[in-house]
């Protein structure tokens, strides 16, 4: 694995290095070891790799060999560079990847790549469309037939035709069908021109097994709605990362089959309508057969922000850490929730792990869903977790929203955009 990249610069150029690499490109300056500081130069951290600028006698710039850095907003950086007098050349030969070339103040060639592909929104669903049911995580055979029937009937009442993938009910010793079967079902659904939407039948475990085996070009070339939550968080975020396709966190068979007006209304708003919408608050919420009054959104930290939605189930999102499937956290509005299997200490551990990822110091906002009652998690514990991080100062954080492993739930687009404000607490989902 690559530890650092070395570039050279002429003597006395440290301040110019800082203005270019720190102030324009956004790299973080890191202190050189005392044993090397007398050599001059500057070191930077790009999030995953370090850049060392060394002072070289008889310096000549690198016009061909060069480092490439990912940035969250290529157009923003391009504007900064142009305003500072640096020539910018966009290169479309690797489309849909967006990149540009520029030169540092000393003539070294620099490449910048937009970290996330531009969002690709699937067509909205409409009555008469065909929804394919898949089991990318645990097997459909583990779902009660009544739940299956009620879920299918609820989709049919919305006007959809429904089919079940070939291998959805197969089950191996780990409770899922074999990887090849699940990959085949997913590829078949994306490639089938008669299918407009794909719904995971349930969560469970192991959708992350599929990620290295998926044909992401097939998926990008056939954009369509993909919806699920819980373990489907890994699949949904990975597909967005690798293709730009906006996916959806929302009800699966059990949730849609309960026919709750709140769940249905927000399912329709997110998947079937094209207008921006504000997330409403349900009157009550249900967990383990108990109905409780809903106190509504709780502000943990004040602020306002817009950003790209990333996340879903916290512990499942964390499975993507250190892989090529982890979405860029810079500028993200993080949506996080978890189920009855966690407790406050494990939630804190998972949250701290996420906050140690590259780019976490530039998170735009955090939205916590509803943690199941059996988790024992209290809002004050979430507030305490947030207080750990100076980088979150001024970042809006709201909690107790209607998504997660309780009902009812709203549907939201992973890779879509949202606005978060706290006076009063408000979450708005944008249509594009």
Q: Which pair of tokens denotes residue 397? A: 């954080």
Structure tokens at 191: 């490639």
Residue 302 appears among annotated catalytic residues: no
Q: How far apart are CA 357 and CA 340, in angstroms?
A: 25
Name which of 70, 10, 99, 7 is nearest 359 in CA terms: 70
Rounded Cα gap, residues 57 and 89, in angstroms: 29
Question: Smallest Cα–Cα separation from 233: which of 332, 310, 133?
Answer: 310
Selecting among 337, 375, 419, 421, the annotated active-site residue is 337
Q: Check: CB of residue 422 under 8 Å from CB of residue 409.
A: no
Query: Which one of 130, 260, 266, 405 is the catalytic residue?
Result: 405
405 is annotated as an active-site residue: yes
Rounded to whole angstroms, how far apart are CA atoms 362 and 269? 29
User: Cβ distance 169 to 176 under 8 Å?
Assistant: no
- 136-147 CB burial, b ≥16 within 10 A, e <16: bbbbbeebeeeb
With vertex at residue 148, the alpha carbon angle to CA 142 and CA 152, rounded to the nearest 5 degrees, is 150
Instruction: Tell me the HSE value of 263 on the side-chain side, using a 13 A CA sphere.
Output: 26
Q: How far apart are CA 270 and CA 120, in angstroms?
A: 15
Sign of CA dihedral 372, 360, 318, 420: positive
Can you point out the beta strands (E) in 246-387?
Answer: 247-249, 277-278, 284-287, 290-293, 298-301, 304-313, 332-337, 365-368
Contact 377, 212 (CB under 8 A): no
H-helix or E-strand spanning residue 4? strand 4-9
Rounded Cα–Cα distance for residues 79 and 30 (Å): 25
Q: What is the dihedral of CA 3, 5, 6, 7, to 10 degrees?
A: -160
Q: CA 217 to CA 207: how far, in whole Å?
A: 19
Q: Show Cβ contacts of residue 403 under 8 Å, excluding neighbours closer than 6 positions.
A: 229, 249, 335, 337, 369, 370, 409, 410, 412
DSSP SS3 for 206: coil
| List 46, 138, 230, 419, catalytic entry | 230
Euclidean distance between the first and the last CA atom of the chain, given in angstroms as a whole number: 37
Catalytically active residues, by annotation? 230, 337, 405
């Amino acid at each position: 694995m690559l530890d650092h990249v070395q570039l050279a610069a002429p003597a006395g150029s440290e301040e110019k290095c800082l203005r270019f690499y720190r102030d324009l490109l956004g790299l973080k300056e890191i202190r050189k070891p005392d044993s090397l500081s007398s050599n001059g130069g500057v070191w930077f951290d790009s999030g995953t790799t370090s850049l060392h600028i060394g002072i070289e006698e008889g310096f000549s710039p690198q016009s061909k060999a060069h480092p490439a850095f990912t940035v969250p907003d290529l157009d923003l950086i391009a504007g900064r560079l142009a305003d500072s007098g640096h020539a910018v050349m966009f290169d479309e030969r690797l489309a849909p990847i967006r990149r540009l070339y520029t030169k540092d103040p000393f003539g070294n060639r620099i490449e910048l790549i937009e970290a996330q592909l531009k969002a690709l929104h699937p067509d909205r669903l409409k009555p008469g469309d065909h929804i394919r049911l898949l089991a990318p995580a645990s097997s459909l055979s583990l779902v009660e037939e009544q739940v299956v029937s009620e879920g299918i009937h609820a989709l049919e009442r919305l006007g959809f035709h429904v089919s079940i993938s070939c291998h959805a009910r197969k089950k191996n010793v780990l409770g899922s069908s074999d990887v090849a079967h699940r990959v085949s079902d997913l590829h078949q659904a994306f490639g089938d021109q008669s299918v407009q939407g794909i719904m995971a039948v349930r969560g469970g475990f192991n959708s992350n097994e599929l990620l290295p085996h998926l044909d992401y070009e097939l998926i990008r070339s056939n954009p369509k709605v993909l919806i699920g939550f819980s373990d489907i968080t890994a699949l949904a975020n990975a597909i967005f990362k690798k293709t730009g396709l906006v996916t959806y966190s929302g009800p699966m068979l059990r949730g849609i089959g309960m026919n709750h007006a709140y769940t249905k209304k927000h399912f329709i708003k997110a998947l079937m309508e094209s207008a921006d919408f504000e997330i409403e608050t349900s009157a009550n919420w249900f967990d383990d057969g108990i109905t409780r009054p809903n106190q509504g959104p709780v502000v943990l930290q004040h602020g306002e922000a817009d950003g790209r939605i990333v996340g879903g189930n916290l512990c499942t999102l964390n499975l993507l850490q250190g892989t090529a499937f982890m979405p860029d956290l810079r500028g993200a509005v993080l949506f996080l929730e978890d189920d009855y299997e966690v407790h406050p200490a494990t939630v804190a551990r998972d949250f701290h792990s996420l906050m140690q990822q590259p780019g976490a110091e530039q998170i735009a906002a955090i939205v916590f869903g509803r943690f199941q009652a059996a988790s024992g998690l209290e809002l004050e514990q979430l507030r305490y977790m947030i207080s750990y991080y100076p980088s979150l100062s001024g970042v809006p954080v709201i909690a107790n929203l209607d998504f997660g492993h309780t009902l009812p739930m709203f549907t939201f687009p992973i890779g879509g955009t949202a606005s978060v404000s706290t006076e009063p607490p408000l979450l708005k989902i944008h249509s594009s």
